[in-house]
C-alpha cells in the first residue's frame, strides 16, 4: 500500500551560492513512499523518473530501500536525484538526523545540513584514457575535449574534460549513434574559474539508454568529485541542461559526498 507520493525536484538553486550561475529547475522525480515492499513496478506513463521507497532492516538499523525507474520504465542502477529526494523526504517523515538508504545492494548515508541534503558514496575511481578520434563525429564543429577518463565498467561512464572557461552549452546532443562507439554514458565537464574557485559545468548524455540529456545527475557528480579531486576538494557545479541543476560535492580520502536542495512540487496522501 502506498503511504503517500510527491513530485520532488532535486538540485534546485540554493540562495547565496554562486549568484552568477544561471537559474535552474532541478531534476524531478515522483517519489512513492510505501509501508511495505511494493509488488508492482511503475508504468512509464509519468514522463519522469519514478522512485519507490520503503523501510527495511539493515544491520539492525532501519534503512530506506529506494528503487528508481527512468521515464522509459528502465531500472536505474544508481539514481542520484532519486536518492536525494528519498533522503530529503524520509529524514522528515522519520524525524531522523542521519538515515541509511539502500539502492541495488549499495548502502548510502543521507543527512541534512540546513537547506542542503547530502549523500555519502564510496569512491568510484577514474582512469585517464587517450582522447578518441570518434569524438569529432559525436560533437562536430566544436573544440575537441582535452582529457578523457573512464569510471566503472564498460557500460558505466566516460568523462570528457574541456579547457577552463569552455561553455558546454555549445555541445550538440549526441544521437543514438553514440552506441556505435561506446556503451558508456558521457559526462562532459569544464572548470569555470570566472565563476569562482571550484566551480564547474557539466552535461550528461546517455542516448544508448533512452536519456538524450539528463537534467541534474547526482551519480555524475559523484564521478566528477573524484575526477577533479587533484585540483578541487569541493565542487559547485552547474549542470547546463535545458532545465539545469545546482550540485555540490566534497571529496575526502575515504568517501565522496554529493549534496543539493530538494523542493516538493506537489504531494498527496493516498
Which domains, from first to last, does the chain contain?
A: 2-121+257-269 (3.10.310.10), 126-249 (3.10.310.10)
Q: Are 197 and 228 in contact (CB under 8 A)?
A: no
Determine whether 89 is exposed, middle or buried from the number of CB atoms within 10 Å of its CB (0-12, 13-18, 19+). Answer: buried
| Predicted pLDDT of residue 52 | 95
| Predicted pLDDT of residue 268 | 38
Rounded Cα gap, residues 259 and 67, in angstroms: 19
pTM assigned to the model: 0.93
DSSP at 16: T
| Predicted pLDDT of residue 15 | 75
| Predicted pLDDT of residue 74 | 86
pLDDT values of the chain reduced to their tens digit, one per residue, 270 residues: 556 889 999 999 887 676 667 778 899 999 999 999 998 888 776 788 999 999 987 666 789 999 999 888 889 999 999 999 999 999 999 999 999 999 998 999 999 999 999 999 999 999 999 999 999 999 999 999 999 999 999 999 999 999 999 999 999 999 999 999 999 999 999 999 999 999 999 999 999 988 899 999 999 999 999 999 999 999 999 999 999 999 999 999 999 999 999 999 854 333
- Bin 170: left if φ > 0, else alpha if -120 < ψ < 50, else beta: alpha
Amino acid at each position: 500500500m502506498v503511504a503517500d507520493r510527491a513530485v520532488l525536484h532535486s538540485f534546485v538553486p540554493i540562495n547565496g551560492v554562486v549568484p552568477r550561475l544561471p537559474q535552474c529547475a532541478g531534476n524531478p522525480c515522483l517519489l512513492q513512499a510505501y509501508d511495505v515492499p511494493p509488488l508492482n513496478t511503475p508504468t512509464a506513463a509519468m514522463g519522469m523518473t519514478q522512485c519507490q521507497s520503503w523501510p527495511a532492516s539493515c544491520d539492525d538499523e532501519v534503512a530506506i530501500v529506494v528503487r528508481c525507474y527512468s521515464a522509459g520504465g528502465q531500472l536505474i542502477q544508481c539514481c542520484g536525484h532519486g536518492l536525494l529526494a528519498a533522503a530529503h523526504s524520509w529524514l522528515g517523515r522519520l524525524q531522523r538526523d542521519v538515515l541509511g538508504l539502500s539502492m541495488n545492494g549499495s548502502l548510502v548515508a543521507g543527512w541534512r545540513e540546513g537547506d542542503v541534503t547530502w549523500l555519502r558514496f564510496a569512491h568510484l575511481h577514474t582512469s585517464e584514457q587517450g582522447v578518441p578520434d570518434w569524438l569529432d563525429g559525436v560533437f562536430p564543429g566544436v573544440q575537441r575535449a582535452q582529457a578523457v577518463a573512464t569510471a566503472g565498467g564498460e557500460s558505466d561512464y566516460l568523462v570528457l574534460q574541456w579547457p577552463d572557461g569552455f561553455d558546454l552549452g555549445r555541445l550538440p546532443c549526441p544521437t543514438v549513434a553514440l552506441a556505435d562507439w561506446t556503451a558508456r554514458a558521457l559526462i562532459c565537464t569544464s572548470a569555470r574559474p570566472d565563476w569562482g574557485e571550484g566551480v564547474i559545468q557539466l552535461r550528461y548524455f546517455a542516448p544508448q539508454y533512452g536519456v538524450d540529456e539528463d537534467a541534474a545527475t547526482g551519480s555524475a557528480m559523484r564521478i566528477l568529485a573524484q575526477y577533479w579531486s587533484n585540483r578541487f576538494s569541493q565542487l559547485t557545479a552547474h549542470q547546463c541542461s535545458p532545465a539545469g541543476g545546482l550540485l555540490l560535492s566534497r571529496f575526502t580520502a575515504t568517501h565522496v559526498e554529493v549534496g543539493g536542495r530538494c523542493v516538493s512540487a506537489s504531494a498527496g496522501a493516498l
